[in-house]
Amino acid sequence: MIGMEYRISIATLTDYHLQDFIRCPYQFYYFHIEGKITTQSDWRKMVQVVVNQVVSRYYKLPPKSQTTKKVLEFIDDHWSAIEVRQFESTIHYNKTLANITDHLLQCLTTERIENPPLFLYEKFNMNMDELGTELSLTFEVAEWSGNSFIIKKYLVDTDEEMNLLFNNMISVFCEKAFGHYRKE
């Protein structure tokens, strides 16, 4: 019916809920609300797992071992779990591998970090009475920066709307959990 409004309640709202909702609200509904698994193979999720594994392994290395060669080794180790048939075509598979490799090399090896991350793939939960839900956020990488910290998130694909939602979610979370948030 046109004009009908449905309210959906989620006990714990995570950053991955937002990601899935922005990509496809219908798939989000069927997967997270109805609990149904869609038959559509989602290559993005498989690639995101590889990215997370590479980033995690990289940051666990001592700073002098954090090299381009190590990034390439980690990508090679984890990419082998992804099958070509999960993509639209062999060309799509190869382009995705090239893009992920390029972006990981740029993001991980351009800055030299002397200290280990403050948080590395740590999940935090915060009850948000104002929103009537619990907010769950995974900090992929959080590093000290002077008297504050920098939160880094590595996403396979994103757009301006998703970036804005993540920034808002992180600012609300940090304000509630840590007492302050400053956007740079």
| pLDDT score for 152 | 87
User: Is residue 114 predicted with pLDDT exceeding 50?
Assistant: yes
Q: Cα–Cα distance between 149 and 159 in angstroms, integer?
A: 24
In which band, very low, low, confident or very high, does the pLDDT at 39 lie, cut at 50, 70 and 90?
very low
Mean pLDDT value of segment 38-55: 80
User: Is residue 162 predicted with pLDDT exceeding 70?
Assistant: yes
Q: Cα–Cα distance between 28 and 19 in angstroms, integer?
A: 9
Judged by DSSP in three states, 133 sits in strand
Alpha helices in 24-143 (DSSP H): 25-28, 43-60, 68-79, 90-109
| pLDDT score for 118 | 85
47, 148, 151, 174 from 184: Cα distances, Å: 29, 11, 11, 14
In which band, very low, low, confident or very high, does the pLDDT at 171 lie, cut at 50, 70 and 90?
confident
User: Is residue 130 predicted with pLDDT exceeding 50?
Assistant: yes
Q: Cα–Cα distance between 112 and 124 in angstroms, integer?
A: 27
Higher pLDDT, 163 or 95: 95
Mean pLDDT value of segment 98-123: 88
